[in-house]
Amino acid sequence: MRYLVVKKIMIRSVIKDNSFFQVFFKFFLKNGDKAKASANFKKLFSLLFAQTNLGCYTILNKIYRVLYINFEVRKIKKYRSSYLVPVPTKKKRRCFLIVKWLFDAAYQDKRLVPFYNKLSLEILKYLENKESEGKKKKFLTLKLALLNRANSHYRWY
């Protein structure tokens, strides 16, 4: 009986992370070549497994926890003025922002190595709690949201 309960919890966690997994994979599909994207995806996670001995879902779950954000800041125009307004994010948008920050940091790396190597180095920074570009963007967003929380009543315009 105890085994069944543990198995249900494990299945729920995989289903819960499935949306983040799909968003992550779709970023590899930007050029439209599914075979090349899946090959790079497999190379990335095999490289990460060799370095950390963690599975794909475990790595993605840790990244999600590190870069999790509740609010983002949007510019809203009211009459002739524009205001920065903190807006709560939904799960789909949150997943998109996390993956976007991760890939942007990898794109900024100008070394002549394959992209999955750049991405693996960036992911290792998150797993080891080192300073990285995605964390900087997260803290800047949170700081802006806190500074402009007085403008939250403009959210409905």
Domain count, the chain: 1
CATH of the domain at 48: 1.10.455.10
- Using an 8 Å Cβ cutoff, are 86 and 149 in contact? yes
Domain that holds residue 125: 2-156
Lowest mean pLDDT among 1-5, 19-23, 27-31, 139-143: 1-5
Axis crossing angle, helix 2-28 with helix 56-66, rounded to the nearest 10:
70
Matching residue, tokens 């997260």? 138
Above 80 in pLDDT, residue 4?
A: no
pLDDT band for position 156 (cuts 50, 70, 90): confident
pLDDT at residue 157, rounded to an integer:
64
Per-residue pLDDT tens for 77-108? 888 899 999 999 999 999 999 999 999 999 99
| Residue 33, both tokens | 């070549």
Q: What's the rounded mean pLDDT across residues 105-132?
A: 91
pLDDT at residue 56, rounded to an integer:
87
pLDDT band for position 37 (cuts 50, 70, 90): confident
Above 90 in pLDDT, residue 139?
A: yes
pTM of the predicted protein model: 0.81
- Using an 8 Å Cβ cutoff, are 60 and 123 in contact? no
- Using an 8 Å Cβ cutoff, are 41 and 29 in contact? no
